[in-house]
């Protein structure tokens, strides 16, 4: 099983791949651009991207990009919607140049316009992005949300509805464990019973897992990550998903709130300890 983590690309993509390898990770996630802004972004350094790709091949490392938080494909604000489409199109170009297999984007917020509007708006945005940056070798990965405010995409049914018009070779899912727990779709009384995994239509589009513990209780509808085994989910739930045979071939990426990037080495080691302590039987 691949265990990766989120690393900085401040010193370049090749340096980020090296950092992930040095931490003991065999996968990395990175922000495609400033996660809290649209403007003032650096131009893609294609030589650096190619160096990073070579290192990934040498060390058998995989990567995904993560789009900026400001992107909102469900926004009723036409200017924000336009900027979101343009930014996400660029993100797919960046991800492809760096050899990433996917770019993760948060499902949007339709504000007061409601769920049905939000789904249609996201579908419109995704169509525009794919028409501008159609790539056969990189997925747009919709991340389930914790359901804060007007966020959509916090249930399996909503995610499937958003993705329904698109090919599974273009649009897939990234399952965030903390979001699923906080949204109430991962039953703490049945650690291996995360509802998404019981649906083949969801599993067929699942290409990545964000692996995080939670600072908030089940159903709190808040996005608050915690270190592995230190939160309200706990080791039993986290081990259940790590050892679930349905996820054996899916790369996991840690987004836990480490104080410094080198601390991810400890988090990765903790995950591998949970894996090696025995595999629970499949449900």
What is the per-residue pLDDT across 44-99, written as a single tens digit (0 to 9) for each?
A: 999 999 999 999 999 999 999 999 999 999 999 999 999 999 999 999 999 999 99
Helices (H), the chain: 13-22, 46-59, 78-97, 115-132, 156-163, 177-183, 200-203, 234-242, 264-276
In terms of DSSP bridges, do strands 139-143 and 102-106 run parallel, antiparallel, or are they unpaired?
parallel
Determine the Cα–Cα distance for residues 63 and 274; give it in Å rounded to an integer.
23
CB 203 within 8 A of CB 246: yes
Cα–Cα dist 195/65, whole Å: 26
Residue of 230, 252, 228 whose CA lies nearest to 242: 252
The Cα 72–Cα 69 span in angstroms is 8
First-to-last CA distance in the chain? Answer: 19
Query: Which pLDDT tens digit goes with each residue over 101-158?
Result: 999 999 999 999 999 999 999 999 999 999 987 667 899 999 999 999 999 999 999 9
Least confident of 15-19, 72-76, 196-200: 196-200
Instruction: Convert the pLDDT of each residue in 243-266 to its tens digit.
Output: 988 899 999 999 999 999 999 999
Dihedral sign (CA 142, 63, 133, 131): negative
Report whether pLDDT(12) > 50: yes
Q: What is the pLDDT of residue 283?
A: 36
- If one counts every other C-beta atom within 10 angstroms of the C-beta of residue 45, the result is 16
What is the homologous superfamily of the domain 3-276 according to CATH? Divalent-metal-dependent TIM barrel enzymes (3.20.20.150)
C-alpha–C-alpha distance, residues 11 and 27, integer Å: 18
* Distance (Å, whole) CA 254 – CA 183: 19
Residues 235-244: pLDDT tens digits? 988 998 899 8
**What's the confidence (pLDDT) of residue 85?**
96
Round to whole Å and give the CA distance between 3 and 40. 32
Going from N- to C-terminal start, the domains of the chain cover: 3-276
Q: What is the pLDDT of residue 128?
A: 96
Q: Is the pLDDT of residue 212 over 60?
A: yes
**pLDDT mean over 191-209:** 81
């Amino acid at each position: 099983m691949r265990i990766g983590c989120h690393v900085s690309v401040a010193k370049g993509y090749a340096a980020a791949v090296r950092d992930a390898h040095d931490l003991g990770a065999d996968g990395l996630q990175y922000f495609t651009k400033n996660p809290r802004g649209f403007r003032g972004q650096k131009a893609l350094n294609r030589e650096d991207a190619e160096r990073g790709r070579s290192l990934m091949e040498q060390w058998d490392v995989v990567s995904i990009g993560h789009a900026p938080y400001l992107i909102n494909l469900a926004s009723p604000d036409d200017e924000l919607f336009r900027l979101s489409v343009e930014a996400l199109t660029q993100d797919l170009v960046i991800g492809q140049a760096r050899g990433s297999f996917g770019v993760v984007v948060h499902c949007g917020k339709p504000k007061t316009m409601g769920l049905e509007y939000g789904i249609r708006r996201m579908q419109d945005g995704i169509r525009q992005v794919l028409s501008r940056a159609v790539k056969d070798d990189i997925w747009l990965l919709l991340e389930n949300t914790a359901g804060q405010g007007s966020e959509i995409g916090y249930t399996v049914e909503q995610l499937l509805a958003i993705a329904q018009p698109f090919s599974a070779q273009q649009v897939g899912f990234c399952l965030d464990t903390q979001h699923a727990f906080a949204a109430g779709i991962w039953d703490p009384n049945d650690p291996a019973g995360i509802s998404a995994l019981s649906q083949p239509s969801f599993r067929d589009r699942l290409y990545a897992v964000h692996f995080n513990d939670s600072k908030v209780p089940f159903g709190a509808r808040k996005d608050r990550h915690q270190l592995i085994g230190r939160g309200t989910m706990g080791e039993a739930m986290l081990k259940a998903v790590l050892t679930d045979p349905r996820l054996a071939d899916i790369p996991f990426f840690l987004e836990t709130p480490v104080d410094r990037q080198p601390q991810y080495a400890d988090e990765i080691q903790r995950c591998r300890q949970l894996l090696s302590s025995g595999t629970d039987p499949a449900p």
